[in-house]
Amino acid sequence: MLTSIGILGTFTGVVAGLLNFDVNDINGSITELLGGMKTAFLTSVIGLCFSILLKTSYTLLERKKSDQEDSEDLDIQMVVNKIHTLSNNSSSQLNLMQQLSENMQKMVNVLGSEADSSLLGQIKLLRSDMSDNYKQFKNELLPMVTNVENIAKSLGSDSDSSILGQVRLLRTDLLDNYKKFNPMIENIEKVYQLLVENKTEFDDFENKLWIKLQDFADMMSKSATEAVIEALKQVIQDFNNNLTEQFGENFKELNRAVMALIDWQENYKNQLNEMIALYNAGVQSLTVTESSIAKIEGSTQAIPTTMEKLSSVIATNQHQIDNLGNHLNSFAELRDKAIQAVPEIQNQISAMLSNMEKGNGDLIQSVKAGGEQLKQSLNQSAEQLSESFAASGNKFVQKLTDSSEEFAKTTRQANELISSNIENVRTTSQEIKVNLEATAKSMSDQQKVLNQEFKQMAEQITQFAQKWQNEFDTNTRQIQERFAQSIDEMMKKQLSENTRLMTRLEEENKKALATTGESVEKQLKLIDTSMETELKRVMEQMGTSLATISRKFTDDYKELVNRMVEITNYRGR
C-alpha cells in the first residue's frame, strides 16, 4: 500500500508540475515544475523507505512468530540454503540499488553537467544564441533607424537641401516670376494704349485730310471771279470743256487714288482688328497663365497638407519604431531575466540533484544498514537456530521456508517497484529533456520569426520611404520643368507676338504715311502743273481775244470816225 501511495505521489507531483508549466512563460513555470518534481521524488523516496521498513519489520515479526510456534523438525541444510538464498537476494538488491544510484548520477550528469549535450549546456547555448541574435538584430536595426531619421530630416528640416526647403524656394521663385510678369503686362497695356492713340491720331489725320481737300476744292471752285465768268463765258465754257477733256482722266486717277486710300483704310482697320484680336489672345494667354499660376499656387498650398500627412506617416513610423524599441527592451529584459533565472535554475537543479544524491546516499546507506542488520539478524537467527535445533524441528523449517518465500516475493516486488521507479524517473527525465528541447526550439523559432518580421517590417519601411521620396522628387521636378517650360514658351510666344505686332504696326504706319504723302504730293504737283498750264493758256487766249477785240474796236472806231468825217464833209459842201 505504501509503495502504491509513493508511486501515486510521484505521478501526482509530476502531473502537478506539468499542468502549471507554461511554455511561453518559462521563468514563472520553472519554480512550479521544480516544486512538483521535488514533491514527486520525495513522496517516492518516503514511500519506498517506509515500504522497505515495514516489510523488513513484518518479515522479522513473522519469523519470530514462526520461531516461537514451530521449533520442530529442522533441516540444517535447508536453513543454510535459505540463508545463502537470502544473502544472494540481498546482494542482488544491493546491485539494483547501485544501478539506481548510477542511473540517478547519470540523470544528474544529463541535467547539470558542463557538457553541451546536458540540459544546462543546452540552456547556455540557447542563451548564447539569443544574445547573438539580439546583437545581430540590433546591428541590423540601427542602420534602418538611422535611415528613417535621415529621411525625416530630409523631409522636414529647415535647410535648403531638404524637400521642404526646395518647396519654399520653388514658391519664392514662382512669386519672383509673377512679380517679373507684372512689368511686362504693364508694357503690353501701354502698347495697347499707344495703338489706340495712334488709331485716334490716324483718324484725326484722315478727317483733316478730307477737310483740307474739301477746302482746296472750295478754294478752287471760288478761284474764278464773277466778272471774269461774265466777261469770259465763252472762254470759261471753252476752259471748262478743255478742263473736262484735259483733267477728266486726272480726276479719275485722283478718284481711284482716293478709293485706294479708302480700301487701304479698310485694310488698315482689319489689320487693327487682327492686332486687337492678337492682343486679346495675348491677354487670354496671360489669363491662362494667371490661372496656371493660381493652380500651381493651389498645388503648392496642397504641399503643406501633404507634408502634414507625411508627418503623420512619419509619426506613425516613429511610433512603430518606439513600439519596436519597447519590444526590444522587453525582449532584453526577458533575456536579462532569463540570464538571471538560469543560475537560479542551475542552483535549483543542483540543489535537487544534491538532494536526490543525498537521498540516494541515505537510501543506499539505509539499505546497506538494513542488509547488515538483516545479515546480523540472520547470523544471530542461524546461531539461535543451531542452538535450538533440537527444540525447533520441522515446524521451524517449514515456517522459515514460508518466510524465505515471502521475503523473496517481497524482494521481487521491491525490485519491480525500484525498476518501475527507475523507468519512471528515466521517462520523466526524458520528457523533461524533450519538453525543454521543444521549449528551446520554440523560443528559437519564435526568435527567428520575430527577426524575420522585424527585418521585413524594416525593409517595408525603407522601401516605402524611398518610394515616397522618389515620387515626391519626380513630381516636384516635373512641376518645376512644366512650369519653367510653360513660362518660357509663354514668354517666347508673347515676345514674338509683341515683336511681330510692333513690326507690322510700324511697317504699316510707315507705308501708310509714305503712300499718303507720295499720293498727296503727286496729286498736288499734277494739280499745280495742270492749273499753271491751263491758266497760262487761258490768259494767253484771253490776251489774244482782248487784242482781237481791241483791234476790232479800233478798226470799227476808225471806220466810224472816217464815216463821221465823210458825213461832216458832206454837210459842209
pLDDT tens readout for residues 265-280: 677 677 667 767 766 7
| Dihedral sign of CA atoms 203, 208, 211, 212 in order | negative
CA–CA gap between residue 195 and residue 566 (Å, rounded): 89
**Phi, psi values for residue 393, rounded to 5°:** 85, -160
Looking up cell 518606439 gives 322
Select, from the ranges 8-22, 68-82, 246-260, the one with the highest average predicted confidence (pLDDT).
8-22
pLDDT, the chain, mean = 63
The answer to whether residue 253 scores a pLDDT higher than 60 is yes
Those residues whose C-beta lies under 8 Å from the C-beta of residue 41, and which sit 6 or more positions away, are 10, 13, 352, 355, 356, 359, 425
The answer to whether residue 191 scores a pLDDT higher than 70 is no
For the chain, give the number of residues. Answer: 573
Give how far Cα 462 sits from Cα of 161, 216, 282, 395, 472, Å: 20, 93, 49, 98, 15
With H, G, I as helix, E, B as strand and everything else as coil, classify residue 75: coil
Q: How far is CA 69 from the centre of its chain?
A: 101
Q: How many CB atoms lie within 10 A of CB 110?
A: 19
All three cell numbers of 408, joined, read: 523473496
CA–CA gap between residue 510 and residue 501 (Å, rounded): 14
Q: Nearest-CA neighbor of 484 among 289, 262, 291?
A: 289
The answer to whether residue 459 scores a pLDDT higher than 60 is yes
The answer to whether residue 189 scores a pLDDT higher than 60 is yes
Q: Nearest-CA neighbor of 313 among 180, 472, 461, 97?
A: 461
Identify the pLDDT of residue 106.
Answer: 64
Q: For 565, how many CA atoms within 13 A lie in the half-sphere containing its CB? A: 6
Mean pLDDT of 430-448: 61
CA–CA gap between residue 304 and residue 499 (Å, rounded): 41
Q: Residue 162: left (phi > 0), alpha (psi -120 to 50), or beta? A: beta
Those residues whose C-beta lies under 8 Å from the C-beta of residue 120, and which sit 6 or more positions away, are 111, 112, 113, 114, 346, 349
With H, G, I as helix, E, B as strand and everything else as coil, classify residue 324: helix
CA angle (241, 242, 243) in 5-degree steps: 90
All three cell numbers of 335, joined, read: 533575456
| Dihedral sign of CA atoms 323, 328, 332, 337 in order | positive
What are the residue ranges of helices labelled H in 113-232?
119-156, 163-221, 226-231
Enclosing H/E stretch for 162: none
pLDDT, tens digit, 9 for 90 and up, residues 104-150: 566 656 555 566 666 566 666 766 776 676 677 667 667 666 765 66
CA–CA gap between residue 118 and residue 468 (Å, rounded): 52
Q: Delimit the domains of the chain by residue range.
A: 163-309+485-546
| Dihedral sign of CA atoms 69, 72, 75, 76 in order | positive
The answer to whether residue 31 scores a pLDDT higher than 70 is yes
CA–CA gap between residue 203 and residue 259 (Å, rounded): 16
CA–CA gap between residue 443 and residue 135 (Å, rounded): 16
CA–CA gap between residue 60 and residue 68 (Å, rounded): 12
Select, from the ranges 33-47, 294-308, 318-332, 486-500, the one with the highest average predicted confidence (pLDDT).
33-47
CA–CA gap between residue 209 and residue 512 (Å, rounded): 13
- How many helices, marked H, and strands, marked E, lie in the chain? 9, 0
pLDDT band at 389 (very low <50, low <70, confident <90, very high): very low
Q: How many CB atoms lie within 10 A of CB 114?
A: 9
All three cell numbers of 43, joined, read: 513522496
The answer to whether residue 332 scores a pLDDT higher than 50 is yes
Greater confidence, 387 or 521?
521
% of the chain exceeding 90 in pLDDT = 0
